[in-house]
Structure 1
Amino acid sequence: MASVEDCRAALDKLVEQFDEVDEETRSKHVVERTLSCRLSDLDVTFYGRIHHDGLGPFTETPFPDGRQAEIRLTITSDDLIRLINGELDMARALLGGRVKIDASLGDLLRLRRLL
């Protein structure tokens, strides 16, 4: 099992990877959304925000108004690291039940084009 620090570093890497997405693609597919990533084996949730300028940093601090994220990911710590490192295919992980995403269909399709 990966540590919270390992997962935080992986999420920071995801932010960096998202910054590499070209502006044209981002402007076409990005809609401002709040995100959460729950690590089921560590019982920790990270919160972030996707916006036109990129992917904001993830924190362990819930949204100030107490609302739920619009896109909610549930995954184990090891699978999160594998996913971000490109060792785990998102589609296979979803179909295999290793990743759970609660989001609208439109958000899922947009994310698929960005990641």
Structure 2
Amino acid sequence: MATQEQCRIAIDTLLDRLANVDADLRRKRLPDRTIGVTVLDLDTSWVGDLKNGEVVGVHIDPEHTKPQIRLVCNSDDLIALTDGDLSFSHAWATGQIRLDASLRDLLRLRNLA
């Protein structure tokens, strides 16, 4: 099981990857939303706001509020995902990770890849 610090580093890695997508494309394709990651085995959630294509205010959410877009997984799967050792599509198809979002948001996220 990974630590909270390792998971925060993994989340920062995901945010860096998002930041590498063209800024105009992000603003055009990503509406303002609350986003988050819930790590089940650590019973920890991080949330932030997606505004104008940028993620701001990421922090631990002790109340586990449900953001509009949320990745749910175990700590080791989060680390493997960001290290490239776990394919998102395979992990999602097998239930290792879950992405909770509206269909429209899922399609918008997919268009960024």
TM-score by length of 1: 0.85
Sequence identity of aligned pairs in percent?
Answer: 38
Greater percentage in helix: 2
CA distance, structure 2, for counterparts of residue 76 and residue 67 of structure 1:
18
Distance in 1, Cα, partners of 2:62 & 2:50: 15
The one-letter code matched in structure 2 to 1:5 is E
Aligned to 1:40: 40
In the other structure, the counterpart of 1:69 is: 67
Corresponding position: 1:108 with 2:106: yes
Change (3 A) 1:13 1:19: same
TM-fit CA distance, 1:110: 1.0
| Mapped partners of 2:50, 2:83: distance in 1 | 20
Asked whether the 8 Å contact 1:2–1:78 carries over to 2, the reply is: yes
2: CA distance, partners of 1:67 / 1:44: 11
Asked if the contact 1:15/1:57 (under 8 Å) is kept, the reply is no
- Give the aligned CA root-mean-square deviation in angstroms: 2.0
**Aligned equivalent of 2:91:** 93
* Structure 1: runs of 5 or more not aligned: none
- Give 1:67 deviation, angstroms: 5.5
Query: 1:69-114: CA deviations, max 9, x gaps?
Result: 1112210111111112222221111110001122110111111223
